[in-house]
Structure 1
Amino acid sequence: MDTERADLIESLRQHRRFLRFTAQDITDEQARERTTGSELTLGGLIKHVAATEDEWARFIVDGPRETPDVDWDSIDWSNPPPEVKAFMDSHRMTETETIAGLLADYEQVAARTDALVASLPDLDATQPLPVAPWFEPSAVRSARRSILHIIAETAQHAGHADIIRESLDGQKTMG
């Protein structure tokens, strides 16, 4: 494996470690608890980061999925359409999910992504981005940039998780 791939994988592993650390020794109830003004919870963040990483890794290999035609500007957020509710639920830990189960799922996603990064034939290979209001029309994303997006997403949410955990019981990831 070349140095660039090793660096990408190591960066991913470091930020995943920070995120997992925030869930150390918490109960399922604590993992569902909102400790800030945000809707975010530790369990919801771990679930979301795993799903996002899995989706971007799949995108690198298979390209964009069909996206639902949603008028994002006119959504009734108190009663969103099913496809928007499904997206919102990807950020929430349900009553039937456990933090142990979410962490185990995340470990499986991480192993698949690490193997993908190590084995990709070309980090410069591109895929067209799906049609969505948050993407430039007709834009493409390279495998490398998709991996960097996964790293950024993981790092950002590890920071969110650290704030939630500190608000929960005072534990800090660093310092």
Structure 2
Amino acid sequence: MAHHRGFLRLTTRDLTDEQAGRRTTVSELCLGGLVKHVTSVERSWVDFLLQGPAALGDWNRMTEADWARRADDFRMLPGETLAGVLEEYAEVARRTEEVVRALPGLDASQPLPPAPWHEPGTRWSARRVLLHIIGETAQHAGHADIIRESLDGAKSMG
């Protein structure tokens, strides 16, 4: 997990706040927004480990206002800085590491909350949750690399 977090953070090196908020593709994604999104995802899934399905909410009951607030996780909002976004990501990562160290094991599971993409009755173990966070982070680190290369030609690898 630390490896993929490092790649995502590396992709934002030497950027201004304006650059971190700039869209470079037809998608809504920007580098700062990707870091915010991965931060939110990691925080939510660790909350799930600690609190169960209520921490993730019921996706079937989300309103348009809920979806609009969720969309804010994918962009830099006025007043947000790249340094602030990265610090929040570091804080969430520290918390995740503390929670994982304190777990009695990785086999304890929780039921997933209702969502159109969750099979009713499905449970995820702590191991499965951590693999999900790793996968999400790695996927978005790849997206970030594309955005960064489109922004100024810089690459995280190669």
What's the TM-score bracket when you normalise by the shorter of the two chains? over 0.9
Corresponding residue number in structure 2 for 1:153? 136
Q: Distance in 2 between matches of 1:87 and 1:29?
A: 21
Cα RMSD, aligned residues only: 1.3
2:34 matched to 1:45? yes
In structure 1, how many angstroms separate the alpha carbons of the residues matched to 2:59 and 2:137? 25
Return the alpha-carbon distance in structure 2 between the equivalents of residues 114 and 34 of structure 1.
31
Unaligned regions of 5+ residues in structure 1, if any?
Answer: 1-11, 72-79
Matched to 2:30, the amino acid is T
- Within the alignment, does 1:25 sit opposite 2:8 as a pair? no
Alignment-derived partner of residue 97 in structure 2? 114
Deviations 1:39-89 (A, max 9, x none): 100000000000100100110111112325448xxxxxxxx7111111111
Q: Is the 8 A contact 1:68 1:83 kept in 2?
A: no
Residue-by-residue CA offset, 1:19-40 (whole Å, 9 max, x unaligned)? 0001101011001100011110
Q: Report the counterpart of residue 77 of structure 1 in structure 2.
A: none
**Percent identical residues:** 56
Q: How many pairs align?
A: 156
Cα deviation 1:85-107 (Å, max 9, x = unaligned): 11111222101110000000000
Q: CA deviation at 1:110?
A: 0.3
SS at match of 1:90: helix
Bigger Rg, structure 1 or 2: 1
TM-score by length of 2: 0.95
Question: Contact 2:59 / 2:114 at 8 angstroms: preserved in 1?
Answer: no
Where has structure 1 moved over 4 Å in runs of 4 or more? none
Unaligned runs of 5+ in 2: none
